[in-house]
């Protein structure tokens, strides 16, 4: 199968690329060097395509040249907090970029398309509205959420107007190896690894530990993406989640236990988010019933893998010889 891919150098994208390449597919990845966070795959079945989501003509050309059977659209501005710094830019990238991908797909010949949005579209919800489902009403509380809700609406209208077989994946919090700092799990694991290897005093700085979120291992999430791209119902949205809320302090406690460390925990006002939703989780009932998907990787396993990755990161830094003068 021939696959065209945006966001291949991102967190989830790199794991999805591994999955698809291991299955023997030919993968063509749109690579925007200025925003890439992971190295491109080193595999004989992978070919990078330099490009930009906002260059519609270039995107149409790339899709026509690669002749994909499936398009995975994961690229975008992924940070809700950063969306306040430039709301217009976030909308242009996340919504306008999605429109361009869908237009390129229609122009080429209507391959199957998976568009990844976010559970951040729901905003602040009341306890009696949980668990969230595909029928829950969005009420985004930041430009990022607005941009992703609009991208999901584009899935519906392109499916209706052009009979495009496009599906929306709506993931909740996904975690695992390769996630960049700025998210709770790599921030905690990175600090613990730094303490363990002597790069940081035995004090952790944390934000809101009482919030509860729905965490799924990224390797389970990309399995869901693959199933949706191949067998999901066009024009439909699917939640990707565990169905179980987990408190942030539980994440911290598991990581502390895995590390074997005793540390001081200090609250950092800069990490506190007063607009945080206290509890947010969904139900994977729809994707489970239609496609048989359920998370397989236990939370403890995920956290152990992330902690190991950060230990290796700091271990490599510790063993790098000092550069010689000149």
* pLDDT single digits (tens) 180-217: 998 999 999 999 999 999 999 999 999 989 999 999 99
CATH number at residue 90: 3.40.50.720
**Burial label, 189 (beta-carbon count in 10 A; 0-12, 13-18, 19+):** buried
Query: Are 195 and 221 members of one domain?
Result: no
Total number of domains in the chain: 2
Query: Could you tell me if residue 290 is inside a domain?
Result: no
3-state SS, residue 78: coil
pLDDT at 275 over 90: no
Q: Is the dihedral of CA 34, 36, 37, 39 positive or negative?
A: negative
Residue 271 domain boundaries: 184-213+244-281+297-319
Query: Are 48 and 111 members of one domain?
Result: yes
Tell me which of 70-79, 194-203, 234-243, 311-320 is least confident. 311-320
Query: Are 105 and 197 members of one domain?
Result: no
Q: Which residue, 265, 272, 285, is CA-closest to 191?
A: 265
pLDDT tens-place string over residues 220-256: 999 999 999 999 999 999 999 999 999 999 999 999 9
CATH number at residue 208: 3.90.25.10
Query: Are 222 and 315 members of one domain?
Result: no
List the beta bridge partners of residue 314.
Answer: none
CB environment 119-155: b (16+ within 10 A), e (fewer):
bbbbbebeeeebbbeeebebebebbbbbbbbbbbebb
Query: Could you tell me if residue 74 is inside a domain?
Result: yes
Query: Are 206 and 71 members of one domain?
Result: no
Query: Are 95 and 188 members of one domain?
Result: no
Query: Are 22 and 46 members of one domain?
Result: yes
Query: Could you tell me if residue 100 is inside a domain?
Result: yes
**Burial label, 279 (beta-carbon count in 10 A; 0-12, 13-18, 19+):** middle
């Amino acid at each position: 199968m021939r696959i065209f891919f945006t966001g291949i150098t991102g967190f989830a994208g790199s794991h999805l690329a591994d999955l698809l390449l291991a299955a023997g597919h030919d993968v063509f990845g749109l690579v925007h060097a200025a925003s890439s966070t992971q190295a491109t795959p080193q595999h004989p079945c992978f070919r990078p395509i330099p490009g930009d989501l906002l260059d519609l003509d270039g995107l149409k050309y790339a899709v026509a040249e690669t002749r994909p059977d499936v398009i995975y659209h994961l690229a975008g501005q992924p940070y809700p907090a950063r969306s306040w710094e430039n709301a217009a830019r976030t909308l242009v990238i996340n919504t306008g970029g999605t429109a361009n991908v869908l237009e390129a797909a229609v122009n080429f010949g209507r391959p199957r398309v998976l568009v990844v949005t976010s559970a951040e579209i729901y905003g602040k919800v009341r306890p009696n509205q949980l668990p969230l489902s595909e029928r829950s009403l969005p009420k985004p509380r930041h430009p990022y959420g607005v941009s992703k809700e609009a991208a999901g609406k584009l899935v519906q209208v392109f499916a209706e107007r052009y009979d495009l077989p496009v599906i929306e994946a709506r993931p909740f919090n996904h975690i695992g190896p390769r996630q960049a700092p700025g998210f709770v799990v790599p921030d905690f694991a990175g600090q613990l690894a730094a303490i363990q290897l002597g790069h940081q005093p035995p004090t952790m700085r944390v934000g809101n530990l009482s919030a509860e979120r729905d965490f799924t291992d990224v390797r389970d999430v990309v399995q869901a993406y693959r199933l949706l791209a191949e067998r999901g119902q066009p024009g439909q949205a699917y939640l990707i989640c565990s169905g179980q809320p987990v408190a942030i302090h539980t994440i911290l406690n598991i990581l502390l236990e895995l590390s074997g460390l005793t540390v001081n925990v200090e609250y950092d006002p800069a990490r506190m988010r007063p607009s945080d939703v206290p509890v947010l989780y969904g139900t994977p009932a729809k994707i489970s019933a239609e496609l048989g998907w359920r998370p397989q990787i236990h939370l403890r396993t995920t956290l152990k893998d992330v902690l190991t990755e950060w230990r290796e990161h700091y271990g490599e830094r510790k063993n790098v010889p000092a550069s010689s003068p000149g």
